Structure 1
Amino acid sequence: MTGVDQRTLKVVVTGANGQLGRELVMMDSKGRFAITGLDRSVLDITNLEQCREVLAQLRPDVVIHCAAYTAVDKAEAEPDEAFRINAAGTRNIALASREIGAKLCAISTDYVFDGTGTIPYKEYDRTNPLTVYGQSKLAGEQLVQSLHDRYFIVRTSWVYGAYGNNFVKTMLKLASERDQLKVVADQFGSPTYTYDLALFLLELAATDYYGLYHASNSGICSWYEFAKVIMEESGCGTQIEPCTTAEFPRPAPRPSYSVMDHSAIRSNGLEPLRPWREALRHYLSNTKRI
């Protein structure tokens, strides 16, 4: 593939204790990448001078920016904190990365869209976030685009993996305690396995195919369908019953449709992420049960 850097690339990962950050740090890259993970005890992304000092000392080729404020409901009550981390913090990483000549790969979210669509969102479709979380992540995207000249912005959705809390772990835990569960059937999206996303991010980081990307495992399901398949693939006998979003009101509205089209992956000749059910099977067979 042209446009691919064949050297061993020095990669710094922010938010190294989060779901995706930890996956990246634990990834065996077969010597292609030398990955250093930074958690909040080492790097406070809201402190610009600290960002400059730490990145200038490490001098990575690429920064993969996973650190974020992700408490979607809580953000509605503390918007300043969400913007301090997701907007100002991302600005700091963008400035510090650019100053040392490092590429920046910033992780974003399907929440930048309003979820009222009926066909998969393309990378350059109009954004319209309805939540504080989505608004703060979009602000971070805009700051990256205005402050850095060699960036990848990667939006993803419905993330789960071996590290941290997520929907799959919650379903398996509840299944061990109950015979029946109700799961929302009127929200549609694409689950994303952190292992597959991490592989994609490293592949992308080695290129100079800068721009905006949507990355999720391929295929579409509702949360209800996702839960049913989790039970089937894990051999749990718990019955899953469908319910509506209205039956489970939350402080922050959830997008009813957050399926993302992967046109940038296709047009740049990159490897698409595998179908979501196949990815779930890999996760269940390679992760210790709760």
Structure 2
Amino acid sequence: MTLPPTELQQRYLTHLRVERRLAARSLTLYEDALTRLNGLAERDAVDLLRLSSAQARRWTAELHARQDLAPRSLALLLSAWRGWYRWLGRERLVEFNPIEGLRPPKAAKPLPKALAVDDAVQLADYRDAEADAAIEARDHAIVELLYGCGLRIAELVGLDARPGPEAAGWIDLSNAEAQVLGKGAKRRSVPIGSAALKALREWLALRPQLLRGENPALFPGPRGGRISAAYVRLRLKQRALAAGMPSHVHPHMLRHSFASHLLQSSGDLRAVQELLGHANIATTQVYTKLDFQHLAKVYDAAHPRAKKR
């Protein structure tokens, strides 16, 4: 059962609208939360001005158990209730906040999305025969670096064609390495595979065609300056569609694919951590779950005892 907000709650909503200047969408969320609170109180004959922490905890557990709300939605609901009781406390209408300290269950973190090996190779091998040669060489080299080196998008767009005093990162073709500036301004060296090296050499031969003036950036954008992350995302999306990818592909998906496929082949978690530039190995360990998913699919497809009769 749900009841509309009481007169006291309407005063609170007016406070949020006039003094806090909350957006209309936020006000609607607060009103919905208070409406749900009223329904619970009416059902259980509870005076909301005398609500106990134990009762509030029971309602939270009930909403979670019934799966009425996802953990994130439940967190928003509790935040709205908490704010309401804080306001009541300032108005000296309640002695304590029964929602203070209540926390929703943690939402399960989704696993990073990675391409299948065949799909990643198909995308990396794709060529657009009708595109401008320089643009095609640039976009191909971008895909090879994202998938072949596991670079973050910010690391990629920050690369210069050669080292310099102001370079955030650069390509060292002679040593087959990319020197990148990662999170926390930490530098690391990433090896460049033969396919990416070949793509880079082809691109560098055509790079002057897309430059305007003095521009150290390895990858210039459509206006001749350093390419932007948004433009890379757009070009990759278009390229993936043209290559027949089964789902939307974004730059970080290629980084996930790099890590997952490398871990499948080597099993060396510490090496993958170093290549990705993760400060904490726990961040890298999520890819072991992806690796297990891969193994589980292989088992389901191949093992006689896994097949349905």
Q: TM-score normalised by the shorter chain: which range applies?
A: under 0.3
Q: Name the one with the larger helix percent.
A: 2
The alignment's TM-score, normalised by the length of structure 1, stands at 0.22
- Larger RCO (CA under 8 A, 6+ residues apart): 1
The alignment's TM-score, normalised by the length of structure 2, stands at 0.21
